[in-house]
Amino acid sequence: MPPSVYIKAMHPKTEISPTLPAVEKLLKAGWAGQMKIHGHRAQIHLPADPKLEVIAYNRQGRPHKKLLPEEIVEELRRLIQPQKGWTVIDCEWLKPENKLFLFDILKDSDENLRRLTYAERYELLPRAYISPYIQTLPLLTSPRKCMDVLTSDDEHSEGLVFKSLNSKGFEDTSIVRCRKNPRSRN
């Protein structure tokens, strides 16, 4: 048994069309969008004890074959600063670019955060920092910003993921995918 076990996190099972009316409907219902990065889903288990290895699980709950580079581990320690036990961050990993895009925290210093809403968990993520390796994805709450993402030609953006800000836990029903219109891609 690994020292910190995989936590089944939210994964979208439903999808909306990339249209302004669909986006507005979700935003008005209290949801927020985040850019969906086209990379490798990574659930990073960061131990407070620097002598223990960091674990990066894939979406299926298996360790990634590639280890997190030391410079990313150092940045995670600097930004997250786990106090005890394990802290678990959900993110997208662009392996060739050596970048992590943080979007959720599932456990903080050994405390499972399932009892918190997504908005409460998001508040625990670092947001005011500069890093060449790590970025926290912002929450998008305006239709214009969401549509800007959906029409951008950013090669790493697949579209948006909408999350219910007030749903507690990690349920698949509190997350919805919105892929870019194929015509807006390169």
> From the CB of residue 55, how many other CB atoms can be counted at a distance below 10 Å?
22
CATH of the domain at 58: 3.30.470.30
C-alpha–C-alpha distance, residues 97 and 133, integer Å:
8
Please check whether residue 122 lies inside any domain of the structure. Answer: yes
Please check whether residue 125 lies inside any domain of the structure. Answer: yes
Mean pLDDT (10-residue bins), the chain, 186 residues: 84 92 96 96 96 94 94 96 95 96 96 96 95 97 97 93 93 91 53
pLDDT at residue 132 in the model: 97
Please check whether residue 58 lies inside any domain of the structure. Answer: yes
Domain count, the chain: 1
**Can you give the residue range of the structural domain that contains 30?**
14-184
pTM above 0.85, yes or no: yes
